[in-house]
Amino acid sequence: MINCIFCQIIQRQIPASIVYEDEQVLAFHDIHPQAPKHILIIPKIHISTLNQLESEHGALMGKLILTARDLAHEFGIHDSGYRLILNCNYGAGQTVFHIHLHLLGGRRLGWPPG
């Protein structure tokens, strides 16, 4: 999608601090981190919100979660604890309309989140 900032990052039109990439997924540091470790994990195909997921996207969503698990290990937050967040639409805090998984860790995270 032409106006999607995450699609532009995937296409390397906008720079990002990329920490992982394969044929399906891209992960990079959030530019407004909410924790010492805050990484966004996105699919390389454009899906606006969780509401647009189709049954064929199940494996891709699993891939996002497994990538988050691996990155938590790589960044040393797997034992101390981490949080995964998927927001859907404005009311839940989604500001970029391209599905993305937040990986947060590196400090004690309260509940409920702000």
Q: Which residues are catalytic?
A: 100
Residues 64, 70, 23, 45: what is their CA dihedral angle, to the nearest 10 degrees?
A: 20
The answer to whether the beta carbons of residues 56 and 63 sit under 8 Å apart is no
Edge-to-edge strand order for the sheet containing 37-43? 18-21, 25-29, 37-43, 101-105, 82-86
Rounded CA separation 13/7 (Å): 9
